[in-house]
């Protein structure tokens, strides 16, 4: 990891000074990245040959009606003026209104993001609980058939067009076998029954102690989450294997073995103990990837998540919505990155 | 079960063969109707602004109008709704409606002539895209105070000319004719916007349903209005869920998780037809599929080329192939079931004839041309089929696919060569299509008549425009029909439009659901007659 | 030990020497040894074999294809593959069935391999070079240039990838070239990170100091001395990313913004075929299998390469 390289080079200074400086520069990084993100999105939105006015007025509008909306949106002003007006609003917490849905972008995003969060979290959990043991096993049994099977299982996950697998999975497991529930987050007549606290139906139904809805939601989420989980499993298991191999070939492991330590202890206590930190980085990155919203999975499973929201908005030139969504996704990504970096500083002996 | 057998082209296909692909394991609750549909085009619920298919579907159930259609008898034409009766003045310019007594809005307020006055004036004042449906009668923000006037329990509207009464009343059945609860709405007015912002996401009507919730891209939930003046609807809740994929809709339907699937493609229709307990309905809708040739392009402006290209489209192959059951060949700009419709279909795929015409035009070796088409499977397939048949006469076609808004932008700016388009009528009167396919009084770029299809294709037709204008003021029904027939026959031969197909909407439905009307070619869906 | 003892005869001997006579010789020798070790990895060789087959198929598509990939026959649309029982035995050809416009799927797949190769080659050239350029300059120059370049990299990294690609394609217009460009524009940041990390470790090595003392300028050091050292980790990463790139191109095709009809691009073919997936599975499944096979081949090869070239490569 490049970040790891950077952090290993941390210099020694007075700890307090160091912390203050780090916090300051981290904050600066976040702000600079977010600004850049906003600017790039804004710029793309404006050069895109999709006309936001047409999205509002529709096919039949007269020139005069078109012009009225054009002015209302402030599109006659220069690009930079528009950007700074927008930026001013954002700083005050106002992301504007979605042109397409008519709702404030912030409302829309807080509605769609929990759906993605729920799916991505479960997907990552599946990926971790299967992927990590699989990776460790493959490393320990390097070169045996177990290693080969693990490799093929993982690489198939990498190579499968997810939308294709999703359609097939839906057709077989829901359509033919009826083992799981269909598209959507819950059966539609269960919607809006439990009060929305977190926006994540699994958690909301636990809070409300409504187990019927909880199990219904589980039966809906399990298939898309498994698909995303398979994908992240593939990545996590390959990385785990690679980290473990590095450790297992290290001198201290040989020493431990020579000392007669049990194989279990060697693998899990020593080698695995040492890869925890880079592994968490990998998991955080894979989690961040899923939190971007898997557009294709969301479309096929009619999952009202953020990936689908941003995509549809983009295609109808609803730039307020696209920027709001991108900022949230970008922020999550940056924060997860910082979190991984902090972990490194905290646990990696070389960084201390 | 078939409530619209009377509609001319409506037919119901029920194929309940013994083969069941999936066991029907669940069923939706008895007093609830659950529909899968693509509803991500809804941008607003304000009747003065809403102008998309899915929006009209919602509005028709939330609001009542002065006149409306009986979902069980669409071909019967408009019938009294909030208006009990009406009189036309001697000069034919003023129509006075008498309001039905005892009807209330969902708020409990009585529906009065004042509300009608406010609602109709509001359409003109706000001047949103669909306002032309009313403003074409000469209403302006300046004159509405004199032309739309309530008096006691009557409301009179005065047009600038004497129009066919049926034309005026047909326009009042459109979404813009919805009557809003003025008192409730005005409580939510912000900065003099006549509650435009509030009505975007809320409703204040007297329809069969009230708005439970609208979650963009997800679902619309309607809750029954048990005080509805035509009687309480049986379905207490109607939930329309946004499902993009046909395959997904089919799986949901086969598993009993929804009652109605509205966007099944021909293959999935054939599939669900084999499942026990599922019926397929086919209802003719108003939407036309056409290609148009920009007259700014020198080659396409040649009348021989226009004629040749109309012979280079495989109408039958497409109808019986990938459009099977969902589009029917139709080559005139008025949809079947409209006054003045004609069913002539003079063009078929005839490569030899087309080659001869091209040779006459001086393009014996063909030419290169571009087609723009929006990202929608059936339109892309149509474009590819046309590309294939054009090539047989030596014409090389490049296809440009883009998002809907992108392609529409090109079209409105008159920058295309050939456009693959769809057009749905805005109100159930022939002028809705005549006024755009066959009307273009000023073809200059400065005119900017972007709403007119003839203008978008740069087709200058001063005489045909006159004929179209003459047809709207003709009050004799038969004479009027004859005028439209004549215009269409000329249009069919000479215009740069090749109208190809009319839409048939195929709906998969759980067999126990009865009485659902999609609105035929003239209006939108209605849920209040549905039973289970 | 004399030279004669260790030097085995012939090219093989020259390559297997442990006393190289020149730098080029040394590099050739180490590459050969890597190749030998890769050869022992059956999975990786399988992957390589598939990719070589893909190149051959692409080159000979016009000879191999049983018919024109663009010819339509609406009366024979959705013909099942030859082994399906429900197929009308009177129909000839269409070994893998036909699509919704009655085109031969096998021929389209064969021609489509050219497009896949085209996408893969272009992206594999563009994205790593962009990343290499940004990463090595940032790493070598350090200071404010490093900060600025890495911030830009972070901004692009923080962007949802498919959405960024979508935005680019929407801006540039749909089409295969623009899809390639868009994917490259979204794919370079990880390469920049790797290249920078490598540069940082190489920059202060004695070797580079020596070169600098001999009077080499920064441009020369970067291109002649740093780039070659970054290549191996980049090659591994690129091979592993290829599958993702093919899938991204297919995803754009799926959303209708990749290759334009009637191009037989595999992703677009899946997208067209998904309409029929429940009853006519082959229309979407055949191109799906093709994409899967090629992606898997790249992954197998990349995984093998990683074991050989870069056993310690971590998360980046």
Q: Is the ipTM of this complex over 0.95?
A: no
Q: Which residues does chain B have within 8 Å of residue A311's beta carbon, measured at their own beta carbons?
A: none
CA–CA dist B261, B250 (Å, integer):
7
Bridge partners of B80? B67
Residue B233 located in a structural domain: no
Q: pLDDT by residue (tens digit) across C223-280?
A: 888 887 777 778 877 887 887 788 788 777 767 677 777 888 888 888 788 778 788 8
Domain ranges of chain A: 105-351
Note whether C100 contacts B317, CB cutoff 8 Å: no
Query: Which of A48, A155, A243 is closest, CB to CB, to C314?
Result: A243
Region C16-22: mean pLDDT is 74
CA-nearest residue to C272 within chain A is: A164
Nearest residue of chain C to residue A171 (CA atoms): C278
Contact partners of C by the rule of 3+ C-beta pairs under 8 A? A, B
Best to test chain B binding among A183, A301, A311 (most B CBs inside 10 Å): A183
Cis? peptide before A113, omega within 30° of 0: no
User: Residue B252: which of A103, A171, A183 has the nearest Cβ?
Assistant: A183
Dihedral pair phi/psi, residue A85, rounded to 5°? -60, -45
User: Which of A67, A69, A101 should we substitute to test contact with B (largest number of B Cβ atoms within 10 Å)?
Assistant: A101
Question: Three-state secondary structure along C20-85?
Answer: CCCHHHHHHHHHHHHHHHHHCCHHHHHHHHHHHHHHHHHHCHHHHCCCCCCCCCHHHCCCCCCCCC
Question: Average model confidence (pLDDT) for chain B?
Answer: 89
- A332 to chain C: closest CA residue: C158
Tell me chain C's radius of gyration from C-alpha atoms.
Answer: 24
B251:C278 CB<8 A: yes
User: Is B22–A178 a contact, with Cβ atoms under 8 angstroms apart?
Assistant: yes
Q: Which two tokens stand for residue B417?
A: 């060569």
Give the C-alpha separation, A105 to C30, whole Å.
57
Closest by CA to A348, choosing from A42, A10, A28, A49, is A10
Run of H or E residues at C103: none
| Residues from chain A contacting residue B29 (CB–CB below 8 Å) | 189
Lowest model confidence (mean pLDDT) among A128-132, B273-277, B501-505, C268-272: C268-272
CA distances from B451 to A59, A170, B408 (A): 7, 43, 11
Which range marks the domain in which residue B56 is found? 33-207
Q: Which two tokens stand for residue B84?
A: 């009990």
Shortest CB distance from B403 goes to which of C78, C170, C260? C170
Cβ distance B217 to A304 less than 8 Å, yes or no, reads yes
Under a CB-based contact definition with an 8 Å cutoff, are residues C74 and B385 in contact? Answer: yes
Q: Which residues have a Cβ under 8 Å from the Cβ of B43 and sit 6 or more positions away?
A: A55, A56, A99, A100, A101, A102, B50, B52, B55
Superfamily (CATH) of domain A105-351: MetI-like (1.10.3720.10)
Q: Contacts of residue A49 in chain C, CB cutoff 8 Å?
A: 170-171, 173
* B211-to-B234, B371, C34 alpha-carbon distances in Å: 16, 42, 69
Q: Which pLDDT tens digit goes with each residue over B391-439?
A: 999 999 998 887 777 788 889 889 999 999 999 898 889 999 999 999 9
B441 compared with C241, residue with greater pLDDT: B441
**What's the pLDDT score for residue B188?**
94
Residue among B318, B375, B383 whose CB faces C256 most closely: B375
Number of domains in chain B: 2
> Nearest Cα to A61, choosing from B6, B190, C12, B452?
B452
Residues of chain C with Cβ-Cβ distance to B384 below 8 Å are: 72, 101, 261-262
Please indicate, yes or no, whether residues B316 and B196 belong to a single structural domain of this protein: no
CA nearest to C299 within chain A? A155
Residues B453 and B345 grouped into a single domain: yes
Q: Are C74 and B317 within 8 A, CB to CB? A: yes
How many angstroms separate the CA atoms of C281 and A164, rounded? 11
* pLDDT for B369 beyond 70: yes
Alpha carbon of B251: minimum distance to chain A alpha carbons (Å): 6
Question: Which residues in chain B have their CB less than 8 angstroms from residue A66's CB?
Answer: 450
Query: Ramachandran region of residue C211, left (φ > 0), alpha (ψ -120 to 50) or beta?
Result: alpha
**Which residues of chain C neighbour A243 with C-beta distances below 8 Å?**
314
How many beta-carbon contacts under 8 Å exist across A and B?
135
Q: Residue B149: is its pLDDT beyond 80?
A: yes
* Structural domain includes residue B277: no
Quick one: DSSP state of residue B514? B
Q: What is the C-alpha separation between A344 and A349, in angstroms, rounded?
A: 9
- Give the closest of A163, A238, A310 to C254, CB-based: A163
Asked if A341 contacts A25 with a C-beta cutoff of 8 angstroms, the reply is: no
Rg (CA), chain B: 24
Q: Which two tokens stand for residue B75?
A: 């071909």
* Nearest Cα residue to C255 out of A225, A229, A300, A172: A300
Task: Encode pLDDT of B279-290 as tens digits.
Answer: 999 999 999 999
Contacts of C292 in chain A (CB under 8 A): 156, 159-161, 164
Lowest pLDDT segment from B218-227, B410-419, C20-29, C81-90: C20-29
Rounded to 5°, angle at Cα A255 from A269 and C313:
65
Contacts across the A-C interface (CB distance below 8 Å): 156
Q: Does C55 touch chain A (CB under 8 A)?
A: no
3-state secondary structure of C284: helix
pLDDT in tens, chain A (352 residues): 344 444 444 445 566 677 777 778 778 878 888 888 888 888 877 777 677 787 777 777 888 888 888 888 888 888 888 888 888 888 888 888 888 887 889 988 998 999 999 999 999 999 999 999 999 999 888 878 898 888 888 888 878 877 778 888 888 888 888 888 888 888 877 777 777 788 888 888 888 888 888 998 999 999 999 999 998 898 899 888 888 888 888 788 888 888 888 888 888 888 888 888 788 888 888 888 888 767 778 888 888 899 888 888 887 778 888 888 888 888 888 888 888 777 777 766 554 4
What confidence tier does B10 reach under pLDDT thresholds 50, 70, 90? very low
| Topology of the domain comprising C37-61+106-314 | MetI-like fold (1.10.3720)
* Residues in Cβ contact with B489 at an 8 Å cutoff, skipping those fewer than 6 apart: B332, B342, B344
Residue C213, Cβ density class (10 Å: 0-12 exposed, 13-18 middle, ≥19 buried):
exposed
CA–chain centroid gap for B451, Å, is 15
Beta-carbon count within 10 A of A22 CB: 14
Q: Which chain B residues in 303-342 lie under 8 Å from chain C, judged by CB atoms?
A: 314, 317-318, 320-322
The answer to whether the Cβ–Cβ distance between B450 and A61 falls below 8 Å is yes
- What pairs with residue B421 in β-bridges? B290
Tens digits of residue pLDDT in B221-256: 999 999 999 999 999 999 999 888 888 899 899 988
Contacts of A164 by beta carbon, 8 Å cutoff, 6+ apart: C270, C274, C284, C285, C288, C291, C292
Model pLDDT for residues C301-311, shown as the tens digit of each residue: 888 887 777 54
Q: Are residues B172 and B293 in the same domain?
A: no
**A277 and A343 Cβ atoms separated by less than 8 Å:** yes
B136 belongs to a structural domain: yes
Phi and psi angles of residue A309, each rounded to the nearest 5 degrees, phi first: -60, -50
C278 and B250: CB-CB below 8 Å? yes
Tell me, what CATH number does B195's domain have? 3.90.76.10
Q: Shortest CB distance from A316 goes to which of B44, B243, B405?
A: B405
For B302, which DSSP code?
S
Closest CB to B451: pick one of A62, A99, A175: A62
**Alpha helix locations (H) across chain A?**
2-8, 15-47, 52-57, 63-72, 79-91, 105-140, 145-159, 162-169, 201-207, 211-248, 251-258, 263-264, 272-291, 295-300, 306-315, 319-347
CB contact under 8 Å between B129 and A108, yes or no, is no
Residues on chain C touching B246 (C-beta within 8 angstroms): 275
Which residues of chain A lie closer than 8 angstroms to C200, CB-CB?
5, 9
Whether residue C261 and residue B320 make contact (CB cut-off 8 A), yes or no, is no
% of chain B at pLDDT higher than 70 = 95
Q: Does the beta-carbon distance from A278 to C314 stay under 8 Å?
A: yes
Chain C contacts of B321, Cβ < 8 Å?
Answer: 74-75, 77, 100-102
pLDDT at A256: 82
Helix, strand, coil tally for chain B in percent (to 5): 30, 20, 45
User: Hunting for tokens 């499902």 — which residue is that?
Assistant: B243
Which chain C positions have a beta carbon within 8 Å of B248's beta carbon? none
Distance, in Å, from the CA atom of B524 to the CA atom of B175, rounded to the nearest integer, reads: 9
Q: Give a yes or no: residue B115 inside a domain.
A: yes
CATH number at residue B429: 3.10.105.10
- How high does pLDDT run on average in chain C? 81
Lowest mean pLDDT among A94-98, B5-9, B124-128, B525-529: B5-9
Residue A13 confidence (pLDDT) = 53
Whether residue B172 is found in the same domain as residue B311: no
Cβ density class A258-278: b for 16+ within 10 Å, e for less: eeeeeeeebbeebbbebbebb
Chain C interface disruption, residue of B275, B313, B316, B321, most C CBs within 10 A: B321
The model scores a pTM over 0.90: no
Q: Is B396 among the domain residues?
A: yes
What are phi and psi for residue B140, nearest 5 degrees?
Answer: -135, 160
**Hey, which residues does B179 pair with through a beta bridge?**
none
């Amino acid at each position: 990891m490049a970040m790891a390289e950077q952090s290993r080079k941390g210099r020694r200074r007075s700890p307090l000074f160091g912390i203050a400086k780090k916090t300051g520069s981290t904050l600066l990084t976040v702000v600079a990245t977010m600004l850049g993100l906003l600017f790039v999105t804004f710029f793309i939105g404006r050069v895109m040959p999709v006309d936001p006015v047409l999205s509002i007025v529709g096919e039949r509008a007269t020139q005069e009606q078109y012009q009225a909306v054009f002015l209302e949106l402030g599109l006659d002003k220069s690009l930079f003026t528009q950007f700074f007006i927008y930026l001013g609003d954002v700083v005050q917490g106002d992301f504007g209104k979605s042109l397409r849905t008519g709702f404030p972008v912030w409302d829309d995003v807080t509605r769609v993001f929990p759906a993605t969060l729920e799916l991505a979290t479960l997907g990552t959990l599946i990926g971790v609980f299967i992927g990590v043991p699989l990776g460790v096993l493959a490393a320990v049994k390097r070169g045996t058939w177990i290693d080969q099977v693990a490799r093929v299982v993982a690489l198939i996950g990498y190579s499968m067009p997810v939308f294709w697998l999703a359609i097939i999975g839906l057709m077989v497991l829901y359509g033919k076998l009826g083992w799981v529930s269909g598209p959507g987050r819950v059966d539609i007549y269960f919607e809006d029954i439990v009060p929305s606290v977190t926006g994540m139906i699994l958690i909301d139904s636990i809070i409300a102690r409504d187990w019927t809805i909880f199990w219904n939601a589980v039966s809906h989420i399990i298939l898309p989450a498994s698909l995303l989980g398979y994908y992240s499993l593939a990545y996590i298991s390959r990385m785990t294997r690679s980290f473990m191999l590095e450790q297992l070939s290290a001198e201290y492991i040989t020493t431990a073995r020579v000392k007669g330590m049990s194989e279990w202890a060697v693998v899990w206590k020593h080698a695995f103990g040492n890869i925890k930190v880079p592994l968490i980085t990998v998991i955080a990155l894979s989690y961040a990837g899923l939190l971007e919203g898997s557009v294709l999975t969301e479309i096929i499973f009619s999952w009202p998540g953020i990936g689908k929201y941003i995509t549809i908005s983009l295609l109808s030139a609803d730039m307020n919505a696209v920027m709001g969504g991108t900022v949230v996704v970008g922020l999550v990504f940056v924060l997860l990155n910082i979190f991984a970096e902090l972990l490194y500083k905290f646990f990696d002996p070389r960084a201390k | 079960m078939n409530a619209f057998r009377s509609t001319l082209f409506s037919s119901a296909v029920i194929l309940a063969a013994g083969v069941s692909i999936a066991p029907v394991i669940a069923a939706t609750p008895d007093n609830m109707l659950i529909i899968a549909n693509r509803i991500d085009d809804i941008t607003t619920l304000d009747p003065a602004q809403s102008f998309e298919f899915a929006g009209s579907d919602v509005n028709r159930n939330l609001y009542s109008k002065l006149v409306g259609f009986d979902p069980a008898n669409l071909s019967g034409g408009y019938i009294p709704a909030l208006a009990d009766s009406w009189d036309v003045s001697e000069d034919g310019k003023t129509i006075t409606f008498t309001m039905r007594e005892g009807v209330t809005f969902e708020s409990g307020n009585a529906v009065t002539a004042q509300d009608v006055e406010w609602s109709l004036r509001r359409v003109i004042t706000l001047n949103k895209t669909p306002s032309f449906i009313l403003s074409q009668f000469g209403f302006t923000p300046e004159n509405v105070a004199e032309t739309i006037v309530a008096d006691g329990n009557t409301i009179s509207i005065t047009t600038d000319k004497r129009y066919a009464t049926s034309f005026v009343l047909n326009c009042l059945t459109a979404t813009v004719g919805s009557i809003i609860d003025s008192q409730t709405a005005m409580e939510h007015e912000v900065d003099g916007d006549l509650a435009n912002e509030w009505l975007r996401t809320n409703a204040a009507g007297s329809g069969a349903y009230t708005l439970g919730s609208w979650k963009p891209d997800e679902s619309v939930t309607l809750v029954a209005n048990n005080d509805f003046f035509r009687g309480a609807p049986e379905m207490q809740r109607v939930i329309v869920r946004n499902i993009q994929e046909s395959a997904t809709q089919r799986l949901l339907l086969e598993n009993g998780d929804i009652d109605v699937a509205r966007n099944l493609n021909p293959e999935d229709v054939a599939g669900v037809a084999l499942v026990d307990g599922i019926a397929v309905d086919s209802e003719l809708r108003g939407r036309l599929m056409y290609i148009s040739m920009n007259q700014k392009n020198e080659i396409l402006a040649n009348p021989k080329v226009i004629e040749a290209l109309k012979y280079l489209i495989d109408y039958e192959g497409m109808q019986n192939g990938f459009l099977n059951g969902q589009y029917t060949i139709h080559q005139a700009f008025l949809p079947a079931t409209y006054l003045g419709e004609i069913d002539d279909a003079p063009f078929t795929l005839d490569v030899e004839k087309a080659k001869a015409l091209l040779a006459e035009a001086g393009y014996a070796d063909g030419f290169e041309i571009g087609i723009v088409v929006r990202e929608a499977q059936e339109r892309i397939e149509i474009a590819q089929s046309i590309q294939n048949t054009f090539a047989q006469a030596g014409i090389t076609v490049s296809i440009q696919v883009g998002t809907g808004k992108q392609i529409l932008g090109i079209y409105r700016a008159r920058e295309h060569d050939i456009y693959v388009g769809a057009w749905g009528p805005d109100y159930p009167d022939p002028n809705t299509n005549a006024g755009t396919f066959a009307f273009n009084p000023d073809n200059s770029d400065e005119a900017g008549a972007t709403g007119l299809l003839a203008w978008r294709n740069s087709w200058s037709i001063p005489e045909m425009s006159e004929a179209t204008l003459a047809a709207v003021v003709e009050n004799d029904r038969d004479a009027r029909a004859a005028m439209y027939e004549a215009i269409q026959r000329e249009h069919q031969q000479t215009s740069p439009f090749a109208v190809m197909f009319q839409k048939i909407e195929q709906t998969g439905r759980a067999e126990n659901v009865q009485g659902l009307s999609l609105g035929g070619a003239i209006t939108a869906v209605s849920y209040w007659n549905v039973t289970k | 030990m004399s030279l004669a003892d260790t030097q085995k005869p012939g090219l093989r001997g020259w390559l297997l020497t442990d006393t190289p006579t020149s730098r080029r010789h040394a590099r050739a020798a180490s590459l050969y040894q890597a190749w030998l070790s890769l050869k022992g990895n059956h999975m990786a060789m399988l992957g390589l074999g598939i990719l070589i087959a893909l190149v051959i198929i692409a080159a000979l598509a016009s000879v191999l294809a049983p018919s024109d990939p663009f010819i339509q026959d609406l009366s024979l649309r959705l013909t099942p593959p030859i082994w399906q029982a429900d197929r009308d035995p009177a129909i000839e050809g269409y070994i893998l069935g036909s699509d919704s416009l009655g085109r031969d799927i096998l021929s389209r797949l064969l021609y489509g391999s050219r497009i896949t190769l085209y996408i893969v080659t272009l992206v594999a050239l563009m994205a790593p070079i962009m990343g290499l350029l940004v990463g090595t300059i940032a790493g070598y120059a350090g200071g404010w240039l490093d900060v600025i370049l890495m911030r830009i990299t972070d901004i692009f990294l923080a962007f949802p990838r498919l959405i960024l690609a979508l935005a680019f394609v929407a801006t540039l217009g749909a089409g295969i070239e623009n899809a390639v460009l868009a994917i490259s524009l979204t794919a370079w940041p990880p390469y920049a990170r790797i290249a920078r990390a490598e540069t940082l470790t190489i920059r202060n090595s004695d070797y580079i100091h020596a070169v600098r003392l001999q009077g080499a300028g920064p441009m020369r050091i970067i291109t002649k001395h740093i780039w070659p050292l970054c290549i191996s980790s980049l090659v591994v990463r690129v091979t592993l990313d290829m599958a993702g790139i093919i899938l991204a191109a297919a995803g754009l095709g799926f959303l209708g913004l990749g290759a334009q009809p009637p191009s037989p691009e595999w992703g677009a073919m899946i997208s067209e075929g998904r309409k029929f997936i429940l009853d006519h599975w082959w229309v979407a499944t055949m191109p799906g299998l093709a994409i899967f096979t090629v992606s898997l081949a790249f992954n197998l090869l990349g995984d093998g390469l990683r074991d050989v070239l870069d056993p310690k490569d971590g998360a980046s």
